[in-house]
Amino acid sequence: MGEKIEAFQEQRRRMNDRILATGTPQTQRFWALDSRVYESGALDVRTKEMLGLVASTVLRCDDCIAYHVLSCAKAGVTLKQIVEVFDVALIVGGSITIPHIRRAHGILQELEESGEIERE
């Protein structure tokens, strides 16, 4: 796994642990809901992760984008599919999403170099 991915995952894990340890019951309920909504249902996990990636890109949340790029790769979404997901986000969100897509490609490059994502 690449340096950017490892740093992101470690920071996310540490801060999530802290938030959940100090959070209110409402905080914990939200965290549980966030996890549950991405489980397979009428839509499969892959589709839900791609939807999350579009929304995160349009909202310009780099942490959320990184999380969903990694989740998409884990769910078997290919690099080519993620690039098309970014096309949807770009058309919906406009050119302001370009810097966020650039940063996401840093994560994608690490996934590609480590063989954790298929190109096609």
Reported confidence tier of residue 63, pLDDT bands at 50, 70, 90: very high
- All structural domains of the chain with their residue ranges: 3-113
**pLDDT, position 1:** 76
Domain 3-113 has CATH 3.40.50.720: no
Residue 56 and residue 77: Cα distance in Å, rounded?
16
In the chain, the percentage of residues whose pLDDT exceeds 90 is 98
SS3 content of the chain, % helix, strand, coil (to 5): 80, 0, 20
